[in-house]
Amino acid sequence: MTTQEEAAVTLSGVRIGPLQAGERVTLTDPKNRRHSVLLVEGGTFHTTKGGVSHDELIGGPEGVVVTSVGGTAYLALRPLLNEFTVTMPRQAAVVYPKDAAQILMACDIFPGARVVEAGAGSGALTCSLLRAVGPTGRVRSYERREEFAAQARRNVESFFGAAPPAWELTLGDLVESLQAETGPDAEPETDIDRVVLDMLAPWECVDALAERLVPGGVLLAYVATTTQLARTVETLRVHGGFTEPEASETLLRAWHAEGLAVRPRHDMVGHTGFLVSARRMAPGFRAPARKRRPAPGAYGEDYTGPRAATPEGGSARG
């Protein structure tokens, strides 16, 4: 690969041209089983139906069919980002492609955006964010567990060939790291366009992030449970410096289509997570009070979450 081609891969993670030693291909057998293979000169992919020589693939185009010694055909293609993120090595649960796609749109990630992400986990969402911000943007990922940060780095470097220049990975708790960056007495930086939180307790980060998000910026939390969803929504509401939070989930149903047998597939993933998002108001402003009344009992005596100072909104901190 020329230096120019390598630089292009580091921006997109997309390789074109002949397959090369050192890159991954996915071999798909007639039963649609997929095998991720790292190409090595002289290497062999061993199967119960005999081996497939890597040299048959190296130097040729992707999209070819190679046959094992035992006669089984394998389709060879480079993995797309959505395949890479669900097959890459992981220690922490990854954001699945259907949710990553929604996050990019709900959070409005754009080329040149300055994005903060926590936790980096296995680096799956990081890959999508880096692609979307491009070379003029910046993704700052925070991860408090060393082994997860190392895994995220390996995965991002594996996908892009090298760590993209737009990426900065910090080992540490998000709030503590942000505070350490500016110091307790310093004026808070207001240089974050978008925030994506995929962590156990995103509500703990709302105050610190609100100080650094640009007016109009988007904060999005991806959470697994309804209790996390509720606490995140109420915390954003009570903060007062955000628009009314929006919550959603995405269900993706694949279809089987063969002749007259056209029906939903049976193996749908029932649940992954919820998205909660809100936009930062300008300092000193709060969103107009909602006109609707809370449902009866919504904040009854059993409710123990964050409480707004007024029925409609919150104790605006701006």
Ligand X SMILES: C[S@@+](CC[C@H](N)C(=O)[O-])C[C@H]1O[C@@H](n2cnc3c(N)ncnc32)[C@H](O)[C@@H]1O
Q: How far apart are CA 156 and CA 149, in angstroms?
A: 11
Sign of torsion, CA 284 290 293 299? negative
Q: Which of 45, 74, 84, 148 binds ligand X (CB under 6 A)?
A: 148
Kindly tell me which of 172 and 188 has the beta carbon lying closer to ligand X: 172
Does residue 118 interact with ligand X by CB under 6 A?
yes
Kindly tell me which of 78 and 145 has the beta carbon lying closer to ligand X: 145
Kindly tell me which of 47 and 272 has the beta carbon lying closer to ligand X: 272
**Window 185-224: residues binding ligand X (CB under 6 A):** 198-200
Kindly tell me which of 109 and 174 has the beta carbon lying closer to ligand X: 174
Does residue 122 interact with ligand X by CB under 6 A?
yes
Q: Which residue has the tokens 């992981």?
A: 90
Q: How far apart are the first and last CA of the chain?
A: 52
SS3 content of the chain, % helix, strand, coil (to 5): 25, 25, 50
Cβ–Cβ < 8 Å for 152, 168:
no
Task: Provide, rounded to whole angstroms, the least separation between the CB of residue 255 and ligand X.
Answer: 26
Cβ–Cβ < 8 Å for 115, 73:
no
Task: Provide, rounded to whole angstroms, the least separation between the CB of residue 169 and ligand X.
Answer: 11
Tell me the number of residues near ligand X by CB under 6 A: 21
Q: How far apart are CA 138 and CA 125, in angstroms?
A: 14
Kindly tell me which of 19 and 95 has the beta carbon lying closer to ligand X: 95
Name the site residues for ligand X (rule: CB under 6 A).
92-95, 118-119, 121-125, 142-145, 148, 173-174, 198-200
